[in-house]
Amino acid sequence: MAGHPRARLTSLAYYRDAAESARKNHDALERGHLTVPVLGISSSHGSIPDMAASISPWAENATGVFIPQAGHFIPDEQPDATVDVLTAFIDHERVG
């Protein structure tokens, strides 16, 4: 695939679209915030150390949790811990 003339062009599409995606996110932020509870899951080896802080500009009710010994694919790397934090979040929101 690397030898295909359009391979490099298409592989960089994500980076070309990043600025447009950011603009759309900021436009959405000006229109309003999420009002439903939102759970941000961070991991010890991920690129965003505090997911709740990262999403809080868009969500009025953001909760964050941290799962150790995981990277970018938290549900694959720590499935039991993922189920535990999701269950606790859902149960808390159901009661709260």
Q: What is the pLDDT of residues 67-92, one digit of tens each?
A: 999 998 999 999 999 999 999 999 98
pLDDT digit string, tens, across residues 26-56: 888 888 888 999 999 999 998 888 999 988 9
Q: What is the pLDDT of residue 3?
A: 65
- Residue bearing tokens 């990277």: 71
* 32 residue type, one letter: G
Q: Distances from the Cα of 24 to the Cαs of 3, 28, 41, 46, in angstroms?
A: 34, 6, 23, 24
Q: Look at residue 95 in the predicted model and tell me its pLDDT.
A: 62
pTM exceeds cut of 0.85: no
Q: Is the CB of residue 51 less than 8 Å from the CB of residue 82?
A: no
pLDDT for the residue numbered 13: 77
Residue pLDDT, tens place only, 9-22: 677 777 778 888 88
Tokens at residue 45, please? 């080896």
State yes or no: pLDDT of 96 exceeds 60: no
List CB contacts of 62: < 8 A, sequence separation 6 or more.
38, 39, 40, 52, 55, 56
What is the structure's pLDDT at 90?
A: 93
DSSP state of 20: H
**Neighbour-count burial of 64, counting CB atoms closer than 10 A to its CB (0-12 exposed, 13-18 middle, 19+ buried):** middle
